Structure 1
Amino acid sequence: MDSKETIKEFYLRNASVVRLESSATTGVGHFNVFTRESCSLMTPYSRRDYYKISLIIGKGKLHYADKWIYVDRPALLFSNPIVPYSWEADNEDQTGWFCLFTDQFLQNGIRLGNLLDSQLFKVGGTPIFFIDEEQQKTVSALFTKMMEEIQSEYIHKYDMLRACLHLLIHETLKMQPAENFEPYQNASHRVASLFMELLERQFPIDSPEAFLKLKTPNDYARSLSIHVNSLNRSVKEMTGKTTSQQIALRTIQEANALLKHTDWNISEIAYGLGFEEPAYFTNFFKKQTGLAPNAVRNAFV
């Protein structure tokens, strides 16, 4: 699985789209809107560090960790920075629009609470809505308005864009989400593979400040948008080890590398690996290896 895609990397991957620097002004957040003609027919399976709303007019498959859905009619798709997904178009006949934005942009001026807790963006929610002809007209009008405003010279255009975004969200909240997701035939293999890739992506730890973000089976399950029981069952079935055991093995592997090849002190290594206290790391390391961290370090001095 690709690493988390930043806004900068999005523009590098989509060289044909134009980044408006004024939309990234400090204190405002980032916003931009595009037609889907500029989209790739196949996007990488990855997390993003931005939110995205797409009006999909075209056919294709939307893939998540353990399920997929075939999009065969106009649909609204909501994606968040946590849940990885990919899009696989059936053909080049793809139209519609999409906008991407940061939490900071939407929250500026009007408070809606945490976006990740909202019905449209929450982990474990249903992020796609099939829409009828009248709903498509309403949504298309909002995207058309956003395209017009972002190209205008109006001094308060980002307030207008934010208002359009709020309207789009509220219009969708009145709709019913799609329910016809299909499980993968080899769901256990797919889930276990994605977990192992995501686990490996957490390493190496480059600095004590770049601490481990995902530490528990629940963290990984949330990131893959699946229930932790499903993750545990798949990992155990495919690897013979529990999710916790796989995480512990990889953490110990990284701890050994840091002890042998860096000059970080034990506290820095502990915090870098996500432990709240150095003593917790020392106890964990001794339980897993039978040795104290200092003993490993001293053996290589």
Structure 2
Amino acid sequence: MKILANDGLDQSGIDALTQKGFEVITTKVPQEFLVDYINENKIRTLLVRSATQVRKDIIDNCPSLGIIGRGGVGMDNIDVDYARSKGIHVINTPSASSASVAELVFAHLFSGARFLEDANRKMPQVGDTEFASLKKAYAGGIELRGKTIGIIGMGRIGQEVARIALGLGMRVIAADNNVGRASIKVKFYNNQFINVDIETEPLQDVLKHSDFITLHVPAQKDGYIIGKKELEVMKDGVAVVNCSRGGVIDEEALIEALDSGKVRFAGLDVFINEPTPSKAILNHPKISLTPHTGASTLEAQDRIGLSLADQIASILQIH
């Protein structure tokens, strides 16, 4: 039973699958050759991340496929409903990377709040000759404690963001059409914890009252979640972070808001034109940037691999 992990798989997942009798192939097969490779090697399970597209052509032309797995949460690169209509199991790992993505949100927030994205660009260039002027330029940092964070999308990742925010002493408000109330358990190092219930609010209210806004929503088919109109509703000096999917924020409107000072800073892990983001986004001094690495921690990859292995074994009834 052969498994093709076309976008890679953590060693723990490979080991778990190998122990159950699977042959795991981690060769990166180009998209245009994928159908031929799957058929020639009689691949039973195809595992992907975000790079490989699993569309109707693969589903229709690869009769050996019984399972398609996505290492991560979003499955917008897979024709899920069509695959399932053909009797193919489609699985993902919705909780494995939540903590890692949430921590990246705060990496962007701290970076922007203390000008780290710009300081890291300029210190190597002129830090030895313009130290005093840089110190003055970055003197207006802000604290997160006591501020209001608005979370758009209160799924697993949104709730993990809420836990960290509450631990930092932030006020948390949230918008989600599918979640009315979220009960957040905040754990501390000595096994103590507190429970905080968060009632979701209309999106407009969250936009109006937040000092920081973070998005945790799926890819959008019809328009942006945050466009020019939504930006105008926000507080002056708001900060916006997107570690969900490219295309949920209008990047042109965001740049305009950054340039005008309406938005203090932004943090982006995802982009409209991945893997070739616009130069205007990449070169903007008020944007903290990462190349879609929300789930890219050793711990998350370990959990993803083990979760996929367990699900595949369960589907095929292998113990």
TM range, normalised to the smaller chain?
A: under 0.3
Higher relative contact order (CA 8 A, sep 6+): 2
Identify, as 1 or 2, the structure richer in helix.
1
Q: Give the alignment's TM-score, normalised by structure 2.
A: 0.20
